[in-house]
Amino acid sequence: MNSKLAADIEICEAQNHNYLLGDGFYRLISHNNSFALLLRYQAQAERQYRRAIEEFERLKALREELPNEPILAEPETNETTSPSCETNPIPPANPTPAPAPAFQPPAPGPRPPTPGPASEASPPPAPVVDYHVGLQPLAPMS
């Protein structure tokens, strides 16, 4: 608040708060129209609510009064309104999995053969599949 407004006048704190609140509303409205739109939409919503209540009361008065009777439970029917769309799923090969055998250490036996010298022909490496390029095999790296 401008100090010139309060010069030589003793103003209480509540009056300052009220003035600043009013000045805030003035600034809010003068710079853009958002607050005016808020007030317009609020008034429109209140009118629509009042009209809806009046229309409801009018329609309620037009119908005859319903008797106050208990609601009887009707038996449920298992009828479907849409045609059946059955699929033929593949049944699982083994519906009940067998329990895993208990771990037993391997029995001592003959050792596997050691690899021969590097001069022997070894099978070519398996192709590497890159799943990001449409599952096409890549050339083996050498």
- What does pTM read for this prediction? 0.33
Amino acid (one-letter) located at 104: Q
- When pLDDT is cut at 50, 70 and 90, the band that residue 68 belongs to is confident
| DSSP assigned state of 28 | H
Question: Are 44 and 38 within 8 A, CB to CB?
Answer: no
Which stretch of DSSP H or E encloses residue 33?
A: none
Question: Does the residue 79 lie in any domain?
Answer: no
- When pLDDT is cut at 50, 70 and 90, the band that residue 44 belongs to is very high
Domain count, the chain: 1
Note down the domain range covering 58.
33-64
Dmax over CA atoms of the chain, in Å, equals 112
Question: Does the residue 42 lie in any domain?
Answer: yes
- Encoded tokens for 6: 């309060």
Question: What average pLDDT does this structure show over 98-115?
Answer: 68
Question: Does the residue 97 lie in any domain?
Answer: no
Question: Does the residue 53 lie in any domain?
Answer: yes
